[in-house]
Structure formats: C-alpha cells, structure tokens
C-alpha cells in the first residue's frame, strides 16, 4: 500500500492533477469523441460536427480504436481508461458495420466507470457545412443553449426518455447560476417522430423586438440535423444512480433541525460528554479570576483603613 | 427558408425547466416521418413548434429580475428540475492526522510564524524554513564542547544525523497518516490520482471482494483440522502448510507440588480465594451492579402499583392478573 503512494513531483503537475479531483459542485463535463476501426463518411462528419459544437470542452481522438465494445462486458475497459486519462465523463463513440451502419454510442461515466449507454443510428444527416445562413447569426462557442423537446414518445417510450436525458447532458454546456441574457443564441430542437426515432436540429436564435420586454424568438437552422434511431440502450444500475445523484446538499445534511409551520425552525441539541478531566487549563480561566466586585470591595476596605487612622 | 413565422402565443401545455433552459411539450403529436408528405414539411413543423417552445422558455427567462452588467443584463437562474448525475463522487473530508487529534485534545492551536526571521549567527534576516534558513547547519562554524561529550564523536556529523532522523520520522508519520486515510478511502486527490494502481472510488464497492490469500489459508486450515483426529491422518493438499496451532489450546498447570511450575497452580488458586474471602477487598460493592438491581426493583414495584390501579378500574377487562398478588388476596 505504502509503496503505491506516488506524489506529483512538480507543483505544476500537482495543480493539473487537482483539476481532476472530485468537486463539491460540478459545473461542466468534458466530452470524449472517438471512433472504432471502421467509420463512414457520414459518421466522420457527425463526429466532427459534434466536436465543433462542443469544442470548448471536448477531446477528439482521431486514431482507430480496436477493442471498444461498450455494451459487452470487458469491452468497456479501454473506454474507461480513456475517460480516466482525458478526464472526460461524456463519451461519443462512432462505429460503422454491416449490422449497425452509422452507429453512434452516447455514454456517460460516473467515476470513470460506465454509467449508462444509448446506441443510436444516424439517418437523414445534414452537416453544418451544407447550411447557408447569415454568419452573423452563428452561435458563439460555449454559449448556453435552449432545449425544446417535442412529442409524447419522450415520456411513453423508455429508450427515448433515456435518450432525452443523455442529449440534455451532452449538449447543455456549463452549468451556470447567472446567465447573461445577451448571450442567448442557440437552441436544440428534438422531436420524437416515432417511438424509436428522434429528429434533432440545431438552430440559432434571433431575438426580435416585440414591443414588450420579452423579445420575440425566431429560429434559423444552422445545422447539423439528423435522425437518431435508438438501437440498444443500457440504463444505470439503481445503486449507482442513487450514488451519482447526490448533490452538495447531501454532503452537509442538516441534522436535528426540523421546520414547523407553527413553531418555525426547531433544533435539537445533544451535548456530548464534556470530559472535564481532559480539559486543558490555561491561566485565563474565568473561574480562577477574582471577581471584580470582590476586588473592588477589598480595595475600598483598604482605602477606608488607610483613611481611618488619619 | 430561414424566415419562419414565429408563434408568439405561449404553448398551452409545456413544461419549462428554466435551470436547464429546457421546454418540453409532451402533448404535441408529430405526424410520423412516413405519414408526413415530405421531409421539408416535417422540418417546418418542427421549427414552428420549436419556436413556440423557445418563446415559452424566453417568456419565463426574460421575466426574471435582471441585474445590469457591462456585458448585458444578467439573471439568476433557478435550480434545474431535471436532475442529471454527477461525473465524480462527492469529495470526502480528510481525516485528522494523529498530531491534529493530539493537538485538539491538548488544546494546541496553530500559530502563524513570520516567513523571515532574524538570525543571530550571521546578523541578517533569513528564511524561517527551507534553503538558507535561520540556524542552518551550514552556518555553524563552532560547536561548544560539553562535559558530557564523548571523545571521538564528530558533533557536526551528529547534528546532521539527528536532523536526518527527524526527517525520516516525519516521513514515517506522514505515510502512517496516509495509510489511515486510504483505509477509509479519503486520500488527498493529488495522491489518489497519481496512483494508478488504486481504484478511483467506491464505485467498485458493489462488486464482490476478492478473498485474500490469508483468508483462504485460514479457512483451509480450519477445514483440514475439523476431523476427529484433528486432521492428523488426512491427506495434505499440495502446498498446504501444517496448522499453526496444532493440538493444545489450553495449558494446564501441574497439580503435584514441587519446585517452580509446581507451585504456580497453588498460587493461582490462592489468589482467587483470597480475593473472594478477603473482608477488605478493594471493591466490596459493585456499584454498577447495585444500581441495576435497585432500578429493577423500582421498576417491578411500579408495575405492581400500576396493575393494582388498573384492577380497580372495573370498566377495563382484566387480561393478566398478577399471579402472586392474586394468590395473596385469595
């Protein structure tokens, strides 16, 4: 055990490592984009478009990856290693085969272990380059997007419900508390067109004057757009999910405090054993001091005594 | 093609999650891809509905009270309603070191020291710690001899040696503290992350633990000696070691009196007898036991009284009359 303890040699390495450390409040997840041994032109384009959308917080691997099969046991180990190495917790893995053409696996990790997976096929793909629009409208890198989910299948179909959450996690960008209203410039519109298919499009937002303080929204499609057909999916294990859903409030859970609508905030106080015997004594313990009154009285007495003889 | 007539009217039935800037309309039924006349039609419908939902989010977003900033109005977003999983576990608090525990028990508080101190040796300001510090060994040209000094011992070398030992001791303490922290899985992050061999988290806690070699050995040992002969005539497995405690588990002292060991048995029994028979033994009254007995007695009495009172109450059915009391009365 002791032999396994290694410490970064330089301060710089230490700082870099500490960036990977778990945080109480997490703000962003990094994305790892990679592909298998075989890809198609469509898939290459899809992956580079996703990378382009998330360029501020993503890592893209360009080499072939041999032994990644996330749905099979043992096939996820190198993926988990890459996740650890690059500190990424969102994974987009593309592969192309006869059985599953234009295959895209969207996955999330918790503690660098696979958390959940959704496998989708890409159809009707239109790349970013194919769209022609006023470049002034192009969304800025890293801006916080809107999301619009349309269709009842997002609630009724289990796999789409799952895909919705994964898409939200993948594209939501940084978690912020304060948002600059001037920076609102993009939206992802996801429509469930069948119980297995989601039509996703990326649009720029134009804020038009409406005469009130709330601007009128206008959508300009900027691409990419594609149909995602769900193939396989794996939900997180229940115990792992519970673990992963913990937030900072869980970390410092308020104990012994209850709120009553009538009495207000109520607290219970438990006094631990005071261990008076172990108490450290210093010179300025209150009990050891002369009381002021006593001291005063003594002083007065001595004065009187001094006065009296005269 | 980009200009789509925006629908200003807010969507009638959509859920807005302002924390994620998300709107969801579960009621809207989209004409399925096959049924739609063309792809273009579907696109138009999605854009129209998307605009509606974007407007719904914007309505909620721009209604928030903004605070002016140089770059634009800034609003404070409410926490998201759709909760997403963390990427890593919550950071674990570092356990206190042995010194920290001791310092707390003794009420020792940390005091800040100046970074620079006045060095009497060289008559200059020097670092408190580190290179070129105050009282550096290098700056001591003369060590005064004492009466207790042993001849032939180099005082400079001795000083260096002592220093080295102190450093080693501190390193040992540090590792000990790290070990303790590792046991509860709260190593400092820079160490945890640097160590490749260590699992990152407790995520693997769910997996069955691999049994250790010692555990297996002890189980094998137990099993092999669990025969009437204590495993004497059993066939040994390849590589099986003889049991550690073979045969005797209890030591009986010789009863016959004699020298040395012989008197031990008597001594032992004498000790016990003396403690029992002694009039002024150290603790003739076991306070704890006495208190318990007193409490039990009180409790019994109270129960009896309660029973009596309930008996007098005629409305209540008598379920279990106290046996003793009923006998006495009869």
- Structure confidence by residue, pLDDT tens digits, A188-202: 999 999 999 999 999
Least Cα distance to A104 among A112, A91, A95 occurs for: A95
What φ, ψ does residue B50 adopt, rounded to 5°?
-60, -40
Asked if the structure places residue A154 within a domain, the reply is yes
A93 contact B CB<8A: no
Looking at the partner chain, which of B21, B43, B62 has a beta carbon nearest the beta carbon of A215? B62
Length of chain B as a residue count: 330
B184 contact A CB<8A: no
Distance (Å) from the alpha carbon of A149 to chain B's nearest alpha carbon: 5
Domain that holds residue A47: 27-236
Task: Please determine, for residue A47, whether its predicted confidence score (pLDDT) is greater than 90.
Answer: yes
A3 contact B CB<8A: no
Asked if the structure places residue A248 within a domain, the reply is no
Q: How many domains does chain A have?
A: 1
Confidence (pLDDT) at B327: 46
In DSSP terms, A110 is beta-bridged to A113
Asked if the structure places residue A104 within a domain, the reply is yes
Asked if the structure places residue A18 within a domain, the reply is no
Looking at the partner chain, which of A133, A176, A187 has a beta carbon nearest the beta carbon of B50? A187
Asked if the structure places residue B56 within a domain, the reply is yes
Asked if the structure places residue A253 within a domain, the reply is no
Asked if the structure places residue B162 within a domain, the reply is no
Looking at the partner chain, which of A8, A243, A280 has a beta carbon nearest the beta carbon of B89? A243
Whole-prediction pTM: 0.66
Distance (Å) from the alpha carbon of B56 to chain A's nearest alpha carbon: 9
- Are A218 and B82 a contacting pair at CB < 8 A? no
How confident is the model over A207-225, as pLDDT tens digits? 999 888 899 999 999 989 9
Q: How many domains does chain B have?
A: 1
Confidence (pLDDT) at A106: 96
Is B15 exposed, middle or buried (CB count within 10 Å of its CB: 0-12, 13-18, 19+)? middle
- Are B63 and A111 a contacting pair at CB < 8 A? no
What count of other Cβ atoms lies within 10 Å of the Cβ of residue B19?
Answer: 17
Domain that holds residue B38: 15-75
Asked if the structure places residue A273 within a domain, the reply is no
- At A43, which CATH number? 3.40.50.10480
| ipTM of the complex, rounded to two decimals | 0.78
Mean of pLDDT over chain A = 88
Asked if the structure places residue A211 within a domain, the reply is yes
Structure tokens at A69: 């099969």
Confidence (pLDDT) at A88: 95
**Pairwise CA distance, residues B63 & B77, whole Å:** 11
**Pairwise CA distance, residues A117 & A162, whole Å:** 9
What count of other Cβ atoms lies within 10 Å of the Cβ of residue A182?
Answer: 12
Least Cα distance to A204 among A226, A221, A190 occurs for: A221
Angstrom CA distances, B95 to A7, A243, B173, stand at: 19, 21, 14
Asked if the structure places residue B60 within a domain, the reply is yes
Angstrom CA distances, A306 to A234, A296, A297, A301, B295, stand at: 96, 15, 14, 8, 63
Asked if the structure places residue B307 within a domain, the reply is no
Find chain B residues with C-beta within 8 A of A112's C-beta.
200
Confidence (pLDDT) at B7: 40
Asked if the structure places residue A206 within a domain, the reply is yes
Does residue B248 sit in helix, strand or coil? Answer: coil
Asked if the structure places residue B99 within a domain, the reply is no
B21 contact A CB<8A: yes
In DSSP terms, A36 is beta-bridged to none
Percentage of chain A with pLDDT > 90?
60
- Are B42 and A199 a contacting pair at CB < 8 A? yes
Rounded average pLDDT per 10-residue block, chain B, 330 residues: 39 82 86 68 91 93 90 91 91 89 91 92 90 83 84 88 94 88 78 56 50 74 76 76 67 74 82 78 70 90 85 53 48
Confidence (pLDDT) at A297: 79
**Section A159-166 average pLDDT:** 95
């Amino acid at each position: 055990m002791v032999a396994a303890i290694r410490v970064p040699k330089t301060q710089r390495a230490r700082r870099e490592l500490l960036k990977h450390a778990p945080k109480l409040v997490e703000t962003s997840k990094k994305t790892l984009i990679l592909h298998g041994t075989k890809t198609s032109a469509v898939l290459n384009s899809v992956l580079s478009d996703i990378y382009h959308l998330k360029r501020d917080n993503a890592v893209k691997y360009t080499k072939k990856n041999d032994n990644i099969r996330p749905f099979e046991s043992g096939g996820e180990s190198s993926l988990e290693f890459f996740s650890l190495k690059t500190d990424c917790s969102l994974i987009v893995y593309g592969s192309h085969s006869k059985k599953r053409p234009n295959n895209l696996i969207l996955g999330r990790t918790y503690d660098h272990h696979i958390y959940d997976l959704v496998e989708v096929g890409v159809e009707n793909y239109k790349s970013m380059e194919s769209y022609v629009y006023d470049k002034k409208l192009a969304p800025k890198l890293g801006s916080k997007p809107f999301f619009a989910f349309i269709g009842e299948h997002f609630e009724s179909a289990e796999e789409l419900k799952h895909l919705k959450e994964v898409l939200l996690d993948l594209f939501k960008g940084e978690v912020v508390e304060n948002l600059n209203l001037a920076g609102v410039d993009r939206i992802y519109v996801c429509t469930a067109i069948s119980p297995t298919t989601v039509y996703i499009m990326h649009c720029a937002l134009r804020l038009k004057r409406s005469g009130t303080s709330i601007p009128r929204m206008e959508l300009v499609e900027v691409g990419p757009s594609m149909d995602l057909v769900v193939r396989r999916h794996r939900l997180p294990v229940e115990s792992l999910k519970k673990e992963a859903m913990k937030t900072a409030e869980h970390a410092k859970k308020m104990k012994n405090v209850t709120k009553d609508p009538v009495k207000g905030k109520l607290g219970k106080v438990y006094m631990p054993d005071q261990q008076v015997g172990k108490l450290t004594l210093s010179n300025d313990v209150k009990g050891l001091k002369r009381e002021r009154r006593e001291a005063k009285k003594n002083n007065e007495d001595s004065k009187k005594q001094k006065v009296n003889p005269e | 093609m980009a200009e789509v007539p925006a629908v200003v009217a807010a969507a009638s039935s959509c859920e807005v999650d302002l924390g994620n800037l998300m709107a969801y309309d579960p009621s809207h039924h989209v004409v399925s891809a096959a049924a739609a006349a063309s792809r273009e039609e579907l696109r138009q419908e999605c854009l129209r509905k998307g605009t509606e939902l974007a407007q719904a989010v914007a309505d909620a977003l721009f209604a928030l009270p903004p605070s002016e900033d140089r770059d634009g109005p800034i609003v404070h977003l409410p926490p998201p309603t759709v909760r997403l999983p963390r990427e890593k576990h919550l950071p674990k608090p570092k356990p206190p070191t042995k010194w920290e525990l001791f310092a707390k028990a003794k009420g020792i508080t940390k005091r800040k020291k100046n970074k620079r101190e006045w060095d009497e040796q060289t008559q200059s300001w020097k670092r408190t710690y580190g290179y070129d510090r105050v009282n550096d060994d290098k700056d001591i040209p003369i060590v005064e001899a004492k009466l207790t000094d042993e001849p032939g011992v180099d005082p400079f070398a001795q000083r260096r040696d002592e220093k080295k030992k102190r450093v080693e001791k501190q390193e040992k303490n540090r590792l000990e503290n790290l070990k303790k922290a590792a046991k509860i899985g709260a190593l400092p992050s820079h160490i945890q992350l640097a160590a490749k061999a260590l699992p990152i988290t407790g995520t693997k806690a769910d997996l069955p633990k691999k049994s250790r070699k010692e555990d297996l050995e002890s189980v094998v040992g137990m099993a092999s000696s669990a025969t009437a002969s204590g495993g004497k005539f059993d066939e040994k497995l390849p590589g099986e070691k003889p049991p550690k405690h073979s045969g005797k588990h209890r030591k009986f002292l010789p009863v016959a009196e004699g020298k040395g060991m012989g008197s031990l048995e008597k001594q032992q029994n004498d000790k016990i007898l003396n403690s029992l028979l002694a009039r002024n033994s150290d603790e003739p009254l076991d306070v704890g036991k006495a208190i318990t007995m007193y409490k039990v007695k009180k409790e019994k009495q109270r129960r009896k009284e309660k029973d009596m009172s309930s008996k007098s109450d005629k409305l209540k059915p008598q379920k279990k009359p106290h046996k003793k009391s009923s006998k006495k009365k009869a």
